[in-house]
Every structure is written in C-alpha cells, then in structure tokens.
Structure 1
Amino acid sequence: MARIFDVIEYATEMNDEIVHRFPETGIGDFRIGSQVIVRESQSAVFFRDGNALDVFKAGRHTIATANIPKIIDFIGKAFNDRTPFPAEVYFVSMKEFASKKWGTPQPIIVRNPNMGLGVALLQGFGTYSFQVKDPQQFVTQIVGTTGTYRTSEIEERLRTMLLSKLQDVLGETAAKNSVPEMIGLTEEIGAAVRAKGKEEFEAIGLTLKTFYVGNLKPSEKSAQELRDMGMLDMSTYTQLQAADAMRDAAQNQSGGAGLTAGIGAGMGIGNLMGQALQGGMQNNSQGGAPAAGAKMPDIMTPAEAAQFIKVTEADILSAITDGSLKAKKIGSAYRISKENLESFMNS
C-alpha cells in the first residue's frame, strides 16, 4: 500500500531525556499532511531544510514539508532516493528535572575577620532543579543534531555555573556576616544563587527552578588546605596540626589508654590554642622566625623560605628575579623546593 502520510509521536515519560530527535539518525522525509502528536509534558521543534520553523505545544499538528505523496517518490529518483525536502522533529521534555545534586569538589575560601586566622574554607552540598524554558533555543544552542540528549550530558556544565555563582554569593555574604552567621543563612544564600544564575540559564533556553543548600560547613582539612595554598606560616601550621591530632585523640572511643588520651587531649586543646596565639604574637615580634628545631618543609612560599634563612621576603623575591634562586611560578605565586633553597645557601 502506498505511503500517504506519517504520524510522528514520542510516547514515553522522558524521565532522563531532555530531547529526542525523530528520526534519531539521518533525515526525515515526512509527507505533506503528516501529523505530529505532542504530549502534555512535551513541546516539539519542527525543522525543515536545517531551519527551525515552528514550536508545537501539546496537541495534534499538521505539518507541510513540500514532500507530496506519490510525486515525491518520483522526484526522489533524481536525488538517489533521498528527499529533497528534509525535515526533523525534536521532542523536548517540558517537565521539571528535580533533585539534581551539587557539591563543592574543592573548599571555597571566604573572609572571616576577627575570628581565628581571618579566613575560612567552606564546603557545601545540596540539590537544584531546572526546566526547559525555550525549546527552540535549547535545541539550536545545546543539542544540535544529537539523536537523544540526556540530563547527564548537561549536568556538569550546570553544576559549574552554579558553583561559580555560589562562590560569588559566599564572598558577598562574608563581607557582612561571620562564618557562623553564614551557616545559618542557607535559605538566603540559595535564593541569591538562583537570582545570579537566572540569566545564564536563560541564555541556553533553561530556567533554574530551585537551588537548595542542604549543608554548609567549614572544611575538615582547613589547616592542610590553607598550608597548601601558602596562607599559613610554618609555626601556625605546626600548632594547628597538633590541635588536629589532639581532636582526633579525643574522639577515640576505644576505652583504656585511648580514653585516657582522649580526656587529656580534650583538656589540652584550649591551652594549645592559647600557646598558638602567643606563638603567633612572638613570631610577629621576631620577624616571623621559625620555631627552634622546626624542620624545613619540602616546598615553601617565599615568606617561609625567608624565615628559615633569616632574610626578608623581598630578598627572596629579588633572588628569584635575578635567577640566583630557582623557584616554580604557579599563577602569580612562587614555590621553592628545599633542595633549591639549600643549593642557594651553599652557592
């Protein structure tokens, strides 16, 4: 029987699909008068000759592609049995894709004036949801000619956008609130991220529906991470490491000697932190000299190297500039190996 027209529909829930192309590969040769059936939770973008011509809402629609039944079969012979009027339909899910997870792969540094070291590293996690707002814009800018486009293919991009906005919001919030206060402002922080992310989501045809901060807390490895970033001097870092060790001992619930050590550690943390503050004051008065017997680390900042050889940081930077001291430049900061500093001193 001769093929007169087509019925084009995609009757699935599209649970993790955002877009499904019909046909999935190649080009369509839908006949004039063909029917496109769009479900309540869908929109359909109709393309002909590579151009987006229309967006169909829920319901039944009749399409015109210039492929007239019987005649196109004859004309197709001149095009190697390929239609001269190609067309495709992209079914787009319009439902909200909810409970997508986000988290901070690396802690975010914020100012924390008048408390502790004056800075803090925060980690957080939560959920967000999004929805297609402009089907044609999303298909033309993001999907292209892909047969099936799933949520997993865009989630990494969306999380990167959201974490960038979160970092901005935390920086702005920290200018007016301490870290303990910020931890209690998760609803306000979430609303601010939604507001900041709105424009970028809409630029690719999406709407950021929700952004929830499930938890926001200081990083458990703050001392080590600050040390790696060159923001702690050796003396303070050593003292904070000792405090961490005492905290871990205090959490030992094995009983016996472990319990005794835990009690002793718990009683000593306050004294140790007091000593740390005193040590910091002494270091300031002594030009930041390292503690007696302190071991030279394998990698140092210019300030730490200056402390060990008892010169100013400017002297170290001058030596790096004139090439007499070898150092590795990472971004705008220098890092000096123990071997290069020793070689410099022995030259």
Structure 2
Amino acid sequence: MMSVIGESSASEEICQWRSEFKEKAWEQRYLESKLQQDKKVARFLAIAVATVLLLILPFDKLIIKPQHWPHPAFEWRVVIVVVCIVSAYSVIHQKTSKQLKKLVLAFIIFFLFNVQAIALTYQDHYVLHVFFDVIIIVIIYSSTLLSLKLSSLLCVSYAVIGSLNIVFTKTLDTHTVGMVLVAYLSANLVGTIISQLEHRLRRELFLRKEQLKEAALKMESFAFRDALTNIPNRRSFDDSFEHHQKSAKRLAAEHRNVCLIISDIDFFKKVNDTYGHDVGDIVLVKFSQFLAESIRPNDAVYRFGGEEFIMILQNIKAHEATEKIRNIIKKLNDRVFTVPEINYPITASFGLAFLKPEENSRDIIARADKMLYQAKANGRNQLCIDTTGTF
C-alpha cells in the first residue's frame, strides 16, 4: 500500500466498519502522526475530570447517603483527583501511541469503575448522575483516543453495569428506569456514530495529506532530476552549490580540495546524426550511469545540459582527483559500456578545476569549461586541469 498511496481512494484503504486502515503499517503510521495531539487531549481530559470533581465536591452532601458523608466520600474523591493529576503528568512521558493507549485505557477503566462505585453511595431515588454518564460515554467515543472497537466495548459494558446498578440498587418507578435505559442506549448509539465518523474523517484527512506529500516529493524530484538520465540536473547543482562552497572553506584548512569536473561526450552530435536521437539518448543514460557509479557516496554528478555533465569530488587531494578522472577515461576507452548500434568506444573530454573557498559557481564553471575546451582542442578523450588553488 505504501508505494501506491497516490493511486488509492479512502474507501479502498479504510475499513468501513472498524474505521481503521486495512494495512497495519498505515494504521500505525497514522496513530504515531497524531500522538502529540492525543497526548494533549488525554492530558486535558484528565485535568478536566479533576477540576469537575473539585467543583462538585461541596454539593455531594446533598445527594450522598449520610453514612458516606463526609469522610469516606471526601477521601475517595481526593484519591481520584490525585490519580487524574498523576495520569495527566504521565501522559507527557509516553513515547509511542501504544504506550499512550495503555495509559488511557487504564485511566478510563479506573475512572468508570469509580464512577459506578460512587453511584452506590447516592440516595436511593437519585439518578441524575446518568446525565454525567451520558456525557462521559459520548466523550470517550468522540475523543478517538481509543479505537472504535475498544470504545464500543468499554462504553456498552459501562452502560450495562450502570443500568444494572440503577435497577438493583435504586428505588425507582418503571418509567424512570425505562428513561435511564433509553439514555444509556442513546448515548452509545450517538457515540458510535460520532466515533465512526471522527475516526474515518481523520484517517481520510491523513491520507489526503500523505498523498499531497507524495505528490510534492514527485514534483520536487521532477524539478531537481533530469528526466532522461534520472540524475540531478543543473537546477539541483545550483541549489547544492552553497553546500559545496562551505565544504571547500572547511577543507582548505585541512589542505584538501573540492574539485569540479566538466565532461563532454566526444562527437556526440555525430552519434545523433548517424544513429538517431534514440541511440543518442541511450548513450546519455549509460554514460551518466557510468559516471554515477564511478564516484564515492559523498561525491555528486549532474547533467548540466546536452551531453555535458558536472562531477563534484569532495575531500580529495589533487593527485587523487587526477588519478580518478584518468581511470574513468581508461575505462571508457576499454568500452566499460557498449551500445549495440555503435561499434566504437564512447569517449569523453574532461576539464577539472579546484573550488576556491570564496569562489562562486559561475567562476569555477568558467575555469573548468576553459580546461574542457583545451582538452577538445588537444584532440579530445583526455583531461586538462586548472591547478589554481589546489592542494
């Protein structure tokens, strides 16, 4: 999936009922992408619960049975508030979505258990706490901190326990009991719908963002790479020249060089005129591949235009650079690569210049280009060197 995201629609990638990505790798990638946001939501909810508990504490004596007020009820709520604060602090230190999910799940189970346990201390005719239960259920669903499946399992179980708690421990008429059951059922139904929409919409948005990122990377690749040879182009050279310039300044203190080589395929016009542009394109591709394979990982090769290529050799002594280019020339003459239609070696001329610490791209290209023309004037298939500023 990860290689064809741009070709897929949300309906193909997201499971309709679970509202999760069908591919586990993408689901995990999505979860990690929203980790920081989930941590903020979880921390906010934990602090909100602690705040609400503290605000309603003075009014508990109106609804709690006398035998539970004030000490047991008060101490109980203090413990819950402390757990909320500790959980809010712990959220910050969760490094992965899996760790956060475990913490959130543990906190929710702890909180729901205590809410129902506290309900046992309320007076026998009091059921207004169901209103808060409905809010809790909807928040659990809509927060999307847990998966739709896990949220449903928790909230339905909570609704069943809450209903049984009221039916068997409260003195209520049938109508009130019925309204309580409807409230729990409605909360789960509405919560499920909200949660499913939230999970799906957020994943669709994530998918769209990833598709846009992929499209942007492709556009950048098209802008900075040559379409035919697939190596960096002139624009890429211009963009990276400042980096090469900084390297030259740094290496000058170590008496080492950054050198620029311009290469030009010999008699390339003759290839195009004799064998056609298709064969000429094959020559360009194979020549560029050969140059790219001939350099070190920290070096670079660019197609500068037509049959001209630029090579940048980093952190190198003058004699090492000379030896490397002469070795390339030897391999070309030994027919390191062949084109079936052409029965002679594809050779090239090279002009080499060493980048001065304060030199701009125009000046060094001019110096290397001058050496290239000298190599051509001397009969091609050779290297000419501008030794100015060399180590």
User: TM-score, structure 2 length as denominator?
Assistant: 0.23
Larger Rg: 2
Q: Pick the structure with more strand per residue.
A: 1
Q: Pick the structure with more helix per residue.
A: 2
